[in-house]
Structure formats: C-alpha cells, structure tokens
Amino acid sequence: MTDAALQFSEDDKIGRVASVDTSRVAIDVANSQLLTRIGIGQLVAIRGATEREYLISMTERVTRTVREELPDFELTGEDGGLLATVPTDLIRAVLIGTFRTVEGAKSNTFKRGADSFPQIDRECFVIEGANLQRFMGILGAGFSEDERLKLGTFVADRSADAIASGDKFFQRHAAILGSTGSGKSWAVALILERAAKLKFPNIIIFDMHGEYAPLADKTRDGFACRFRIAGPGDLEKPGDDVLFLPYWLLNRDEMLSMILDRSDQNAPNQASRFTLHVRTLKAETLDVERRDSVKKTFTVDSPIPYDVKKLVRLLEADNTTKGVGKNGPVKGEWEDKLTRFLSRLEAKLDDRRYGFMFAPPDQAMSYDWLTEQVLKLFASDDRSGIKVIDFSEVPADVLPVVTGTLARLLYDVQFWMSPKDRTPVTLLCDEAHLYLPVRDDADVVQRQALGSFERIAKEGRKYGFSLLVVSQRPSDVSRTILSQCNNFLALRLTNETDQGVIKRLMPDSLAGLTSILPLLDTGEALLLGDAVLLPTRIKLDIPKITPDSATRDFWKEWGTLQPQNHAIQSAIECLRSQTRI
C-alpha cells in the first residue's frame, strides 16, 4: 500500500513497548541514536492489533538511567573484574489516538482515543519528516472547509498548517492563558482577524487597556467597531461611540450589591422598601408608555426606566414619616431605618465616576433606548460584527459592576430571543482576572458580577452564547468559569501556581504535557481541547493588525526623552477633573 500516510523504515524504529498502564506506555528504547533527537510532545506510533492500525502516542518523559552490570565473562577473561555501565533508555508516552491506513471505505483516518491497548513488545516508530507532514495534513483535513480556523503552523513541522475547528473552539467556551508578553493579545487579534473574514461574526470584546483600538482603525483597514464606556468627561455631550449603563438596567441584586450594607441591622427593611418602590416606579413608566401586556408580568428586575430622584423621595418619605398611634404620632414603621441606605445611594448618585450609570443623558432614559443600544452591540452587518468595548477609563472598583451588568444584559437578550432567530455570540473577556476573580477573594460587588459570568459559563452553550477568557493569571480567575472551558490556547506560563491550574484543568493523561509551558517561545502555544484532534504545540501566525501593547523602551527613552512639566501639570488637572482632555 503506497498511499498509506504513515510509512516507517527501520530508521524510524525507536524501540518496543515495555509496559502499559491504562493510558500510558513505557517504551524501551533500542535506537539510542534516535533518542537524542526526541523531546517532550513528540509523536510516536505503536503498531496496533493489525498491520493497518497504529496507536498514536505523545512523549511525556524521556529518561536515560545508567545501571551497572557485570562485564561479559567471555570478552574480559577470568580477571576482568570491573563493572561496566550500561545505559537504559526509556520513553514514557501518553496514548492519544488511533490511526488506520484503511477503515472501511476511507483511507488514512485518525480518531481520538486508543481503541485497544498496545501489547508488550510491539514496535514503536517516531513520526517525523514526511510522515509527520502527511499525518498533520490528515488532522486539518478532518474538519470541513467551512469550520476551519487556521491558527498557525505546527512547531514539529513548520510546513504543516495548524487548523482547529472554529465551531468547537467557540461552542463551549475557550481560554487563552499565558504570562505577560507571551503573545495573548496577538493571538486574540489573530482570531478576531480570522473571524472578521466570515460574513456575520458576532464577537464582543471587553478590552481592558484599549489595546485593540488599531483593529477598529479604518485607515489601517481595521475590521472592528469600537465603543467605550462613558467617563466623567463624556456626560455632557456623549459621542456616538459612548456607552451608558443607566441604573434602571440593573436588576435588584446588582443595585443592592452596590448600595446595601448587609451588616446594617436594618438591611432587610432597606432592601424591601427599595424593592417595593422600584417596582412601583417601573409600573408607572409602563402606564405612561401604555405597555399593558408588559405590565401584567414584569418584575422588579425588568429593565424599565424610572427616575432615581423619585426613588430617593419615596425612601426619604419612609425614613421621616411618623406612625399614627391611639394617642397621637408614634415612631413610624420605617422611620430612621433608611438613613444609612439613603446616604450610600446619594453618594453613588453624586460620584461622577459612576456617571455612566447614574447620570445618563436624557435619551438613555427613554423606553426605546435600550433596544437601540443592544442593536449596536449585537449588530453584524457590513464590517461591524467584531465589537471592541474599551474599558480602559473605567476605575478598577467599578469594573466588576460594568462588566457584570453588561454581560448579563447581553446574555439575557440572547436568552429571550426566539430560538429559531438566535445567532451565536461570543464575549471575549480580556484580562479576566481583573473582574472574574476566584470566588473566595471576591467582595459583594465582584461576587454579583461573577455570578452573571458563571451563569453564562454554565448555561450559555444552550443559548449560543460563549465566553473566550483571556488572562495572564489563571490562578486568579474563577475556577467555575475556567473549568467550563473546553479549549485552551496555553502560551508560555512561567509561574508555577498558574501552571498548576492548567494542569488540573487537563485530563489526567495530558497533564504531563504542561511541563513544556514555561519553555514555550513567544507566540508559541499548546492547543488543547475538543477543537483539535490532537493536543499540539503550535506557532501562532502574526496578525495583520497588531494590538497596541504600549510597551515602553525604558532604556532608550531615558536616553532621549525628557519629562515635560506642562504634561505633568495638565495630568494633575485631569486627575482632579477625572477626565482626559
């Protein structure tokens, strides 16, 4: 059979199976010459039950131990008493799949999982050169043309394209993890660039540092739309690209997480009065808008505009109204119980950093405004399917509220869309450790936001809503969310705690592969998950439009640039006014 993709000669033979332990095999190496070329992650074929079948494994550990042996009596004669040192070369490999030269009508097939256990003494061959090239070709060809996502080339063979299933990659959440400078942002730009080639991509990027702005730069052939969250300077005359999240979009729990102090003994009273009044005010709006059918079933959580000043007045009335007793006025039921709640609410209303929420422009108070805003974010027509939302001006303490509320809102809209009209949406969470923290480390507000993302991670798949989580500190990212991810693009990761997280997310059999994580070159990644047939080490392609990394050349700049007094002066004014000019 000359068209078999794997054709081994005597030179490719590395040794024989010495022991088998469920998914792992130990190979006794006979060809020591070949061993010196073998690294972690090398593919080794083990002859299967028939001539046409090979079990494919990946090396996980390569060892040479030296043992001492009595010398051969024949050769050394009677008095040659010295012990001789003999090397024992062993390879430990993980079984990952089965290759068949012929399978039914098909030829050269590869599938995940080993169909049978390798038998002791079976021959093992290193897959390299032309064999590797043909084998990699088979891996990519396994996906149909319209689901292919080309990410780069295989490190083992740079002439073979590394292709993942774009469907599977986005379907059940994915994560891009790696230390700073390992190439995450470039990987994101690359994936977005690939997606932009499709007719109706729908990806919303939470851009924490404004580094994806070039992707929306039309003069550089940018393909994305860009929005930003309103900063204190945008409140007067917001531009078209400015997003608001008026308070009335928040559900009860989101709102209370910001203004209720649960340790206050009056907290239950405060929460119940708040709930009652908000519901009443929303009902009033529905009356004015004549939305009778909505009014029948709406809840306090429904995003319906109401006037927060009226809410304050109602709460103030509660807080000051006396009760009526038999002998004149008595202490009112809510009297003085809402003081602290009111002052916390008013502090938020006055804080200009919260302007995007509590000082929305007039149009953002109208009933139809929400539809317009969501239409912008969900749009996918000519060159607008990739939407970058710039959060770089949002203060850190407000970040969880904004990201959480926005994510929940978008997810809710997708949830309520009729299944037959629904199209898939992905939310790309850059620098996820900033707002998707491990639950134990989270405060009330963060926990509220986290809840929204965790819900998406758990249920999103059913509604065609997925997350692409990007982080340099996987150990600081919610485990619930990471454990729901089915695909990982793991770049260089130097921190041991972070490596441990990835190791635990891997199936047991692949955990050994994570040992190469600290050794990966910039732009190199381990691609794991159901979007690829094999876990593979790939070199990512370079995106056409690269993100702004804002990396400064300290040494060079110290040699040429002097700090400017006027720049410092105006920075201080910006700090005071909380706006950038």
Ligand X SMILES: Nc1ncnc2c1ncn2[C@@H]1O[C@H](COP(=O)(O)OP(=O)(O)O)[C@@H](O)[C@H]1O
523 sits near ligand X (criterion: CB under 6 A): yes
Residues 58/42, Cβ–Cβ less than 8 Å:
yes
Rg of the chain over CA atoms, in angstroms? 31
Put residue 129 in one of left, alpha, beta given phi > 0 → left and psi -120 to 50 → alpha. left
Q: Which of 22, 36, 88, 180 binds ligand X (CB under 6 A)?
A: 180
By rule CB under 6 A, what string of x and - marks binding of each residue 202-241 to ligand X? Answer: ----------------------------------------
391 touches 229 (CB < 8 A):
yes
54, 99, 143, 186: residue in contact with ligand X (rule CB under 6 A): 186
Task: Give residues 290-349 in contact with ligand X (rule: CB under 6 A).
Answer: none
Q: How far is the CB of 518 from ligand X (least distance, A)?
A: 14
Neighbour order of strands in the sheet with 524-529? 161-165, 148-154, 536-540, 524-529, 487-490, 174-177, 465-471, 425-429, 203-207, 386-390, 224-229, 242-243
Q: Is 95 exposed, middle or buried (0-12, 13-18, 19+ CB in 10 A)?
A: buried
549 binds ligand X (CB under 6 A): yes
15 binds, among ligand X, Mg ion, none (CB under 5 to 8 A by kind): none
178 binds ligand X (CB under 6 A): yes
Q: Which one, 161 or 431, has the nearer CB to Mg ion?
A: 431
Q: Is 396 exposed, middle or buried (0-12, 13-18, 19+ CB in 10 A)?
A: exposed
Give me the half-sphere count of Cα atoms (radius 13 Å) on the Cβ side of residue 563.
Answer: 6
List 172, 184, 277, 337, residue binding ligand X (CB under 6 A): 184
Q: Could you tell me which stretch among 173-181, 277-285, 452-460, 494-502 binds ligand X (CB under 6 A)?
A: 173-181
Q: In the bound complex, which residue of the shown chain has the CB atom lying closest to Mg ion?
A: 185
Q: Please, which residue, 111 or 209, has the CB nearer to ligand X? A: 209
- Closest CB to ligand X: residue number: 523
Kindly tell me which of 178 and 474 has the beta carbon lying closer to ligand X.
Answer: 178
CB of 367 to Mg ion, least distance (A): 39
CB-nearer residue toward ligand X: 38 or 540: 540
Decide which of ligand X, Mg ion, none touches 178; Cβ closer than 5 to 8 Å per partner kind.
Answer: ligand X
Nearer to Mg ion, 269 or 494 (CB): 494
Could you tell me if 56 and 98 are in contact, meaning their C-beta atoms sit under 8 angstroms apart? yes
Note every long-range contact of 310-315, with CB atoms under 8 Å and residues 24 or more positions apart, other chains counting.
310/281, 311/274, 311/277, 311/278, 311/281, 312/342, 312/345, 312/346, 312/349, 314/277, 314/280, 314/281, 315/273, 315/274, 315/277, 315/341, 315/342, 315/345
In contact, 386 and 199? CB cutoff 8 Å: no
Q: Kindly state whether residue 182 participates in binding ligand X, applying the rule CB under 6 A.
A: yes
Q: How many residues bind Mg ion (CB under 5 A)?
A: 2
Nearest approach, Cβ of 185 to Mg ion (angstroms)? Answer: 3
Rounded to whole angstroms, the maximal C-alpha distance in the chain is: 123
For Mg ion, give the closer residue by CB, 207 or 412.
207
Q: Which does 522 bind (CB under 5 to 8 A by kind): Mg ion, ligand X, none?
A: ligand X
Indicate which single residue of 57, 108, 171, 185 sits in contact with Mg ion (rule: CB under 5 A): 185
Q: Which stretch binds ligand X (CB under 6 A): 110-118, 174-182, 247-255, 274-282?
A: 174-182
Min separation Cβ 179 and Mg ion, Å: 10
Among 522, 564, 569, 570, the residue binding ligand X under the rule CB under 6 A is: 522
Q: Select 427 or 506, whichever has its Cβ closest to Mg ion.
A: 427
- In the complex, what is the shortest distance from the CB of residue 152 to ligand X, in angstroms, rounded to a whole number? 7
Residue pair 149/169 in contact (Cβ under 8 Å)? The answer is yes
The amino acid at residue 551 is: T
Assign 3-class secondary structure to 468-536.
EEEECCHHHECHHHHHHCCEEEECCCCCHHHHHHHHHHCCHHHHHHHHHHHHCCCCEEEEEECCCCCCE
Q: Which residues bind ligand X (CB under 6 A)?
A: 178, 180-186, 522-523, 540, 542, 549
Contact footprint for Mg ion (CB under 5 A): 184-185
